[in-house]
Structure 1
Amino acid sequence: MKNIDGLELSPKKCEYIKFILEHGGTVHTTDISEHFGLDPSTVSKSVAGMSSTGLIEYVPYRGARLTKKGKEYAEFLMRRHGIIELMLSHYGLTAQEACAEASKLEGYVSKDVVDKICTSLGHPSAGVCGRIKHDTCCCCPED
């Protein structure tokens, strides 16, 4: 995905985007609020505001779904998580620790840095939590 640096959204909003991707289709804001333990009105307000980014379409009382651009961005976010957790696992963290720490750090790591880490790791296709997709990656050699 071009013209992103990976720092466009707050870490919490990135988590919302990944949650919507993982649950496919339209996700109700109550599902998001229950998953993250937040007040539904807080999530509704946040998701409504995110619709201006072009990453999601939000219809009050119906839910939110990713746009094509949003799906690409969410896939980048998943790739970023996978690359960071794999890097951390190389430094002795267990799979669970690497996943938890990646979740804390990833919102502050730019796409450029993720691409450099990916290159240094040899463009891995599998991470600690599963497959690492490179569909949105411009640093990886094409198959």
Structure 2
Amino acid sequence: MNNKDFYTVRGYQLLNEKENVLTSSMEDYLEMIYRICSKEGFIRMNELASHLNVRPSSATKLVQKLRSVGFVNYQKYGMIQLTEEGREIGAFLLKRHRIIENFLHTIGVEDTLRDTEMIEHDISPGTLDNLHIFNNFFHENPEILKRYEIYKDQWSQTKKNRG
């Protein structure tokens, strides 16, 4: 292994930041805006802040950043709406979230939200594609998924018996 190919987690995050305009927080906001706007057509600042469990002042600052890079349209005290580019990226972010969440559910993680949030911002496109393929494989082959579940139960029991 070449030492130039290895980075710390933060090192990989910094590399990704150089390639992306969006921070993890901006991605979370854009994903939530997309979730609501795809149903309602718009979202108001207080509603967004409530969905993300943040203060409206914090939400305002981040929405202004999203507006400055062209992903949302927003006027003070008005509605937040996605631009075409914001819709495309929001759709991708929600799809990425669901792929990871589905994978975690498939392997038996009970509370998937926290782990999904931790993983989704730093996963590579290739790994995401492979998770998507994995999810589809198990969905199309439920007998193999059942064998996995039996194996997992046996593994857990063996581990419990060993102490």
TM-score, normalized by length of structure 2? 0.62
Give the distance between the partners of 1:110 and 1:7, measured in 2 at CA: 12
Structure 1: where are the runs of 5+ without partners?
126-143
Cα shift readout 1:16-69 (whole Å, capped 9, x = no counterpart): 112212212221111112222322122111111111222111211113111111
Secondary structure at the counterpart of residue 73 of structure 2: strand
Give the equivalent residue in structure 2 for 1:133.
none
- Larger relative contact order, structure 1 or 2 (CA cutoff 8 Å, min sep 6): 1
TM-aligned CA deviation for residue 15 of structure 1: 1.8
The 5-angstrom pairing of residues 20-59 of structure 1 reads: 20-24=33-37, 25-59=41-75
User: Is residue 2:129 matched to residue 1:115?
Assistant: yes
Letter of the 1:115 partner, please give it.
D
Contact 2:99 2:131 in 1 (8 A): yes
Give the alignment's Cα RMSD to 1 decimal.
2.5
Contact 2:74 2:80 in 1 (8 A): yes
TM-aligned CA deviation for residue 124 of structure 1: 8.2
TM-score, normalized by length of structure 1? 0.70
Change in Cα spacing, 1:20 to 1:124, as seen in structure 2 (3 Å) is farther
Pick one of 8, 23, 29 that aligns with 1:10.
Answer: 23
Give the distance between the partners of 1:102 and 1:70, measured in 2 at CA: 21
> Going by fraction, where is helix more abundant, 1 or 2?
2
What is the count of residue pairs matched by the alignment?
Answer: 119
Which has the greater radius of gyration?
A: 2
Contact 2:35 2:94 in 1 (8 A): no
Secondary structure at the counterpart of residue 121 of structure 1: helix
Percent identical: 24
Give the distance between the partners of 1:9 and 1:123, measured in 2 at CA: 31
Secondary structure at the counterpart of residue 107 of structure 2: coil
Give the distance between the partners of 1:38 and 1:82, measured in 2 at CA: 23
Change in Cα spacing, 1:54 to 1:35, as seen in structure 2 (3 Å) is same
Give every structure 1 segment of 4 or more consecutive aligned residues whose post-TM-superposition deviation is greater than 3 Å: 5-8, 120-125
Secondary structure at the counterpart of residue 15 of structure 1: helix
Change in Cα spacing, 1:8 to 1:64, as seen in structure 2 (3 Å) is same
